[in-house]
A and B are shown apart, each in its own frame.
Chain A
Amino acid sequence: MNEPSETRPNPSEDQTLDTPESLEQLRDAVQSSPRVLAVGQRTKPPLSETDATLVCTRRLSGITEYEPSEFTFTALAGTPLTEITDTLAQRGQYLPFDPVLAGAGSTLGGAVGAGLSGSGRFRYGGIRDFLLGAKFISGEGEWIEAGGKVVKNAAGFDIPKLLVGSLGRYGVMAELTFKVFPQPVAQLSLGIKCSTHELARQRMARVAKSRWELFAIDYQPDPGIVHLRLGGPPQANDQIAEEIQTEWSGEVTNIPLSESIWAKTSELNFGPHDTVLKVPTTGPKMQQLCETLESAEGVTLHASLAGQLVWIAVSGNTRLRSIDTLLQSLGLSGLMVRGNGTCWLGSENGAGMAIGSQMQRAIKQAMDPTAKFPELPFPELIASQ
């Protein structure tokens, strides 16, 4: 079982960091070490805590193909997310899932490996839904080109999806192709004051299935505000906002985008905390988490996706033991994406997870028969009977 409070030496102190500048050098780097893990800008340190040789892709950077009318782009894995979002924005396009930690320097490959999506995941899907194709190096040093470069493709197994959240344990990503969407003409942000977590959950459920087709629904348990993001023509946004304000008269505030929570949330900036956990959940368990941790010192919660994802931000490692216990009691699992320590917390049975499945091991063996990459730092993620 995991040891959430355990800390290990910072890998950068005792591990060679290879920084290839070409795809050939990348392959050489993979082949020259017995055990390898790819990293980008290391914005999510717990995910690369390993004794493997680190291969850094940050010099493999740049958008290699972008045709706005195709709604697709291809970029090298080390490309900073900001370069991508800026380039897309110049042509009125975007990645609708609110890429995470872009401002901190996260790379495209790191975003895929970590499998992180922000608040915008609610409307059109997450990073898994926008990834179309991946070129990566297998542990045997072979180039694998899976998926495709067109927005629709049902040929062969969807290996790119398997790379999402795989923490680089199946291969070293070199180039990735994504689908993009046109940016909404305008966005508008509202906050609904909620006196209890239960009320917040009810209101999120109400707006989530409403005709308004909201782009994002988040909840800040402290100070008890449900945040809504609308996207579309400004006049339409205003009309819908007016209806929402009428529905909860006196409790709804129009929040200027510059003061809204969306950018901070994408940066996992939830206050003066050094550790952030990603916890997939459901509405009722989100409520339980909020209630249980309401008065916990040094802990800030933030719910996204109308309550289906909770970010738990913590100061220091001392609280992690009790949070681990809490997650276990609720049958939830957590991935530590910021901080220092092992990246897995909570239940082995959360979200359908249990030790004993042959499948997870068999897939690892199939993807990486020579065990070039470290083991997944999880208990078995696939429940089995």
Chain B
Amino acid sequence: MEPLDSLASIYPESRFSRDAAFQAAFESDGLTVFRAKPRAVVIPESAEEVIQTIRWCHEHAVPFVARGSGTSLSGGSLPVADGIVIALNRLNRILKIDPVERIAVVEPGVVNQHVSDAAASEGLYYAPDPSSQSICTIGGNLAFNSGGAHCLKYGMTSNHVIGCKAVLATGEVVTMGGESLETVGPDFTGLFVGSEGLFGVAIEITLRLLPKPEQFHTVLVGYDSLQAAGDAVSAVIDSGLLPGALEIMDALSIEAAEAAVACGYPPGAAAVLIVELEGPREKIEQERQQLDEILTSTEPFAQRVAVDEADRLFIWKGRKSAFSAVGRLSPDFLVQDGVVPRSRLGEALVRIQQLSAEANIRVANVFHAGDGNLHPLIMFDGSQPGALHRAEELAAKLSRLCIEMGGSITGEHGVGMEKRDFLPEMFDEPTIRMMHRIREAMDPKVIANPGKMFPGKEAPALSKVGLHPLEKAGVISRE
């Protein structure tokens, strides 16, 4: 019997595929620059099927990649050529919402937004909000320690995962953490979150829920220079306020968002800043006065406060659609994700503009200004010979810029395929060796998402570049 036949025997025919046409849907993820053909795609409907699949992979030393909605922007869910794709979308049950302990226990295929939807009637929500939250899954969020616009105040996915049951690449099923905010012993859950699928697959995840903020105060501010917007961020931070979000978009990204969703941002603005306060109404009433005074002192040329929830979402729509909207300005683009110390944002933006001019490549900028998390968007036309290569060269310079400035090569997208060559530039050899040892402790045969995070030889051939089909359809957007 072919080894693959024994894997097939775990599944009914409809949930096991070796069919090339079917598999085409799984060849790529949100980083469309890479593609690879898996050997088979399996669609488990139970944790037990995931366990059996991974034990099969371990026994036969066949690589596997777990996949949720395939929205990874770092190529994290790109299949391994000749490996197995474990599509987890049908493990989408919310197993428990406990309003008393304020936790949710979910399967990995549950969509991020669905957790908050399920908790809403209890006045609770799940805080991490990547822009793709209407489609990305908790399993993927956990694997890549996803961020979002509200990390400054609430932290990343890791801050909200308090327990996890996982099947390691060895086939061992382990439970880390629990239902309490506290644990004793090393924080194994913290290590597992953000491990990019290199340890195994989470099959049951316990999330912390927070009380839904009673009130938001969302302000859209227009400036005539990026520098002025950056200075405004410093003024807000230095005031002692702790906004839920502090976001900046530059002129090019404003233009794109306006063209895509007519978000009504101030015409002619060189930059817009979105500041959002949130909390009990009494607190917002006090803090909004303080914020108003600060923003007035920054001499904006336009300022608008969201009048209701619909207006607030309208302001956010421009921000959240900005990156996919850039597809209207350019046939192709690379999304970068890097972090610099927040106080060096202005300097970083000047350097980005210089590098952009030198390369003669347009770069739009959207960033989580409160976190120093940059998202330069490198525009190019993939139909022009060498254009992709030049865009990637510029992307590499931007990653190195972040390292040089004391930041990080990724704030929230993960290393994946995209940044794996830069990991050894950010960390020294002993640290990388330790990471390898930890990985081998979890996955001695190196079958769990191989080729990601660390430089390696498993890179599939480069092919098509462009918007993800779901982005074209307007279903998802990039953070």
Contacts and interface: CB of A to CB of B under 8 A. Distances in A.
A232 B156 CA distance: 23
A162 B191 contact: yes
Interface of B: 99-102, 122-124, 144-145, 147, 151-156, 158-159, 163, 168, 170, 172-188, 190-191, 193-195, 211-214, 234, 237-238, 240-242, 279-283, 285-287, 339-343, 368, 371-373, 406-415, 419, 423, 426-428, 430-431, 434-435, 437-442, 453
A4 interface: no
Interface in A144-184: 144-146, 148-159, 161-166, 169-170, 181-183
Contacts, number: 296
B159 A129 contact: yes
15 contacts: A68-B238, A70-B342, A138-B430, A151-B342, A155-B419, A155-B423, A155-B426, A155-B427, A158-B145, A165-B185, A208-B102, A280-B182, A282-B180, A283-B100, A358-B172
A365 interface: yes
Contacts of B431: 144-146, 156, 159
Contacts of B441: 359, 362-363, 365-366
B100 A205 contact: yes
Given A162-B190, A170-B186, A363-B441, A156 B453 contact: yes
Given A165-B184, A280-B180, A381-B185, A158 B158 contact: yes
A323 to B, nearest CB: 15
A159 B426 CA distance: 14
B426 to A, nearest CB: 6
A335 interface: yes
A233 interface: yes
Given A67-B341, A376-B186, A125 B155 contact: yes
A213 B211 contact: yes
Given A158-B190, A158-B194, A232-B279, A182 B178 contact: no
B341 A213 contact: no
Interface string A218-255: 00000000000000110110011000000000000000
A236 B214 CA distance: 14
B408 A148 contact: yes
Task: Point out which of A211, A352, A366 has the most chain B C-beta atoms below 10 A from its C-beta.
Answer: A352
Given A233-B286, A351-B184, A358-B170, A150 B406 contact: yes
Contacts of A381: 183-186, 188
Nearest to A243: B282
Interface residues of A, number: 91
A142 B211 contact: no
A333 B184 contact: yes
B282 A154 contact: no
Nearest to A164: B187
Interface string A96-130: 00000000000000000001010001101110110
A47 to B, nearest CB: 11
Contact of A154 (B100, B172, B194, B438): B194
A334 interface: yes
A69 B172 contact: no
Contact of B194 (A151, A157, A358): A157
Contact of B411 (A69, A152, A205, A280): A152
Nearest to B200: A359
A149 B344 CA distance: 13
Contact of A352 (B163, B242, B283, B426): B163
A154 B163 contact: no
A182 B241 contact: yes
Contacts of B151: 151-152
Contacts of A369: 437
Nearest to B198: A157
The 4 A-B residue pairs with the shortest CB-CB distance, nearest first, are A161-B190, A362-B441, A233-B286, A351-B178
Nearest to A202: B100
A286 to B, nearest CB: 10
Interface in A131-151: 138, 142-146, 148-151
A382 interface: yes
Given A162-B190, A211-B280, A182 B438 contact: no
A170 B114 CA distance: 38
Contact of A122 (B177, B181, B187, B413): B181
Given A121-B182, A209-B123, A155 B101 contact: no
B372 A213 contact: no
Contacts of A69: 234, 237-238, 342-343
Contact of B102 (A67, A70, A156, A209): A209
